[in-house]
């Protein structure tokens, strides 16, 4: 749960790249973390929700970016979204949030709109990683800024965790994304397994799709494990929150494997019985 700008508690069930469990979040950081979350969630809604045309979405994201720039000038934004940019301006003033990661998130949302509009995918893992550096890694870097952890090794480990979370979300949602015209399976990996990047509609029932997804899930797991030592660098309750984030991602990978990597047809989810296991695994890190 996390507090919305109207003060009500709502579940974090929408902006998947945002690792937060507010009952573990240090109380002094709840307001800035909520401000960052709602900034990202609202931009995600602009890019992805409703029936707006791509041109309309891009225009709204441009106005949203102008509002962000106004925050960093300590001005009231000329556009809408006061419930987003009021709290964000306060967080910038009180915690010195850096501008670049917030700009990178908007770059990623623009890219999502453009890729979906054009029916385009990703040529290779390098291009997909470049997207993750804008869509996922900024969140971890903003949180580390709030926690006062900014050494190069910790930033690299945070990037590995956040990129892994983004990839896990892709591999969990392959079938959902296909139906929405979003294609994240790297084209060169597809070709190596015999899938046609030019015909995404054929992926769903391709006999080699599970093997491809198994390989991509192994990549995501390796990234997560490479970043996991960060849990010992992040202090206090925030470190425990991060342990659960890491274990939650790994548990989703377990569930994908239990489906024989068939996320073209089924989407794995965490359920109540999983959380005891997550706590046990988090305690053993």
Residue 244's CATH number: 1.10.600.10
Same domain, 127 and 138: yes
**Which residues, at least 6 apart from 51, have a Cβ–Cβ distance to it below 8 Å?**
none
User: What does pLDDT average to over the chain?
Assistant: 90
Q: What pLDDT shows up at residue 13?
A: 45
Number of domains in the chain: 2
Round to whole Å and give the CA distance between 54 and 280. Answer: 45
Q: Is residue 1 part of a domain?
A: no
Residue 88: give the domain boundaries: 25-99+109-118
> Is the separation of the CB atoms in 160 and 227 below 8 Å?
yes
How distant, in Å, are the alpha carbons of 194, 222, 270 from that of 277?
37, 20, 11
Least reliable range by pLDDT among 75-79, 184-188, 247-251, 276-280: 75-79
Same domain, 143 and 233: yes
- Name the pLDDT band for 20 (thresholds 50, 70, 90): very low
Q: Where does the chain show beta strands of DSSP type E?
A: 2-3, 9-10
- Name the pLDDT band for 23 (thresholds 50, 70, 90): low
Same domain, 192 and 81: no
Q: What pLDDT shows up at residue 183?
A: 97
- Name the pLDDT band for 1 (thresholds 50, 70, 90): very low
Q: Is residue 215 part of a domain?
A: yes
Round to whole Å and give the CA distance between 273 and 283. Answer: 17
Q: What pLDDT shows up at residue 232?
A: 95
Round to whole Å and give the CA distance between 212 and 44. Answer: 28
Residue 28: count other Cβ atoms within 10 Å of its Cβ: 10
Same domain, 72 and 131: no
- Write down the pTM of the prediction: 0.90
Same domain, 114 and 166: no
Checking if the pLDDT of 67 tops 60, the result is yes
Same domain, 224 and 135: yes
Same domain, 167 and 29: no
**Which residues, at least 6 apart from 128, have a Cβ–Cβ distance to it below 8 Å?**
122, 167, 184, 186
Q: Give the CA radius of gyration of the chain.
A: 19
Q: Is residue 144 part of a domain?
A: yes
Q: Is residue 8 part of a domain?
A: no
Q: What pLDDT shows up at residue 76?
A: 79
Same domain, 94 and 126: no
Q: What pLDDT shows up at residue 236?
A: 86
Q: Is residue 10 part of a domain?
A: no
Same domain, 185 and 89: no
Q: What pLDDT shows up at residue 16?
A: 52
Average pLDDT over residues 94-107: 97
- Chain centre distance of CA 234: 19
Same domain, 138 and 274: yes
* Residue 184 in tokens: 């994240």
Checking if the pLDDT of 9 tops 60, the result is no
Checking if the pLDDT of 12 tops 50, the result is no
Higher-confidence residue of 51 and 212: namely 212
Domain boundary pick from 66, 91, 118: 118
- Phi, psi for 14 (deg, rounded to 5): -130, -55
Q: Is residue 187 part of a domain?
A: yes
Q: Which residues pair with 3 in a beta bridge?
A: 9
- Name the pLDDT band for 116 (thresholds 50, 70, 90): very high
Domain boundary pick from 85, 118, 151: 118
Same domain, 138 and 272: yes
Least reliable range by pLDDT among 23-32, 38-47, 159-168, 264-273: 23-32
Q: Is residue 191 part of a domain?
A: yes
Same domain, 90 and 164: no
Residue 180: count other Cβ atoms within 10 Å of its Cβ: 11
Quick one: what percent of the chain has pLDDT higher than 70?
A: 91
Round to whole Å and give the CA distance between 67 and 73. Answer: 10
Q: Is residue 18 part of a domain?
A: no
């Amino acid at each position: 749960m996390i507090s919305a700008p109207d003060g009500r508690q709502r579940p974090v069930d929408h902006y998947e790249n945002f690792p937060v469990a507010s009952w573990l979040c240090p109380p002094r950081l709840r307001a800035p973390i909520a401000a960052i979350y709602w900034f990202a969630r609202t931009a995600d809604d602009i890019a992805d929700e409703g029936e707006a045309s791509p041109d309309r979405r891009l225009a709204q994201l441009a106005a949203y970016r102008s509002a962000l720039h106004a925050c960093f000038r300590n001005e009231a934004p000329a556009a809408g979204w006061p419930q987003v940019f009021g709290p964000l301006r306060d967080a910038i003033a009180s915690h010195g949030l850096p501008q670049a990661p917030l700009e990178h998130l908007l770059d990623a949302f623009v890219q999502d709109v453009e890729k979906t509009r054009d029916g385009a995918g990703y040529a290779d893992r390098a291009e997909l990683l470049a997207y993750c550096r804008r869509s996922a890694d900024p969140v971890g870097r903003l949180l580390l800024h709030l926690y006062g952890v900014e050494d190069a090794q910790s930033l690299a480990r945070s990037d590995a965790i956040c990129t892994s979370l983004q990839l896990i979300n892709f591999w969990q949602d392959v079938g959902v994304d296909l139906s929405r015209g979003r294609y994240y399976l790297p084209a060169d990996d597809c070709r190596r397994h015999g899938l046609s990047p030019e015909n995404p509609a054929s992926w769903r029932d391709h006999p080699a799709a599970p093997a491809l997804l198994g390989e991509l899930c192994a990549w995501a797991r390796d990234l997560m494990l490479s970043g996991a030592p960060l849990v010992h660098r992040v202090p206090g309750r925030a470190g425990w929150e991060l342990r659960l984030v890491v274990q939650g991602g790994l548990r989703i990978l377990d569930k994908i494997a239990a489906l024989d990597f068939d996320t073209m047809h089924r989407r794995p989810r965490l359920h109540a019985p999983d959380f005891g296991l997550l706590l046990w695994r988090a305690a053993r890190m």
